[in-house]
Amino acid sequence: MSENLTIVKIMGRDGIVSQKDLEKWRNIFAEKRMTNEEAVATGEVEIESIPTSDPNSGENYLTLVKLGNEDYKPTPQDLQIWREIFEDAKGDPDFKIFTHPEVSIEVIKIGDIIAVE
């Protein structure tokens, strides 16, 4: 059985995401008031499901988290918070991460890595 990590990116109004926006969507999903498809249809969130492992295949994966862009540079504290989030996500087959659009997460099969820049 494959495990997935669900990334919920809160788009926010005018590209600005508030803590209130994040909490609103955390509560909606926690209380099962809306499905992924319904949420995406609102235009307020983007949902991505990333396979993180397949125990049956014996393959290993590397999770790559990218934070920021030209306008946002994460602090060492930001990076530590993300490390802790992924530690919490280990072993939970239905873990959801709520974040803003300046976070991207990729899972790469170890054998597929060609170069790291």
Q: How far apart are the first and last CA of the chain?
A: 32
Q: What average pLDDT does the segment 90-96 reach?
A: 75
How far apart are the C-alpha atoms of 11 and 35, rounded to whole Å?
A: 17
pLDDT computed for residue 85 by the predictor: 80
pTM: 0.51
State residue 4's pLDDT score: 67
Q: Is the pLDDT higher at 4 or at 2? A: 4
Average pLDDT over residues 76-83: 82
CA distances from 3 to 43, 49, 77, 85 (A): 26, 10, 28, 16
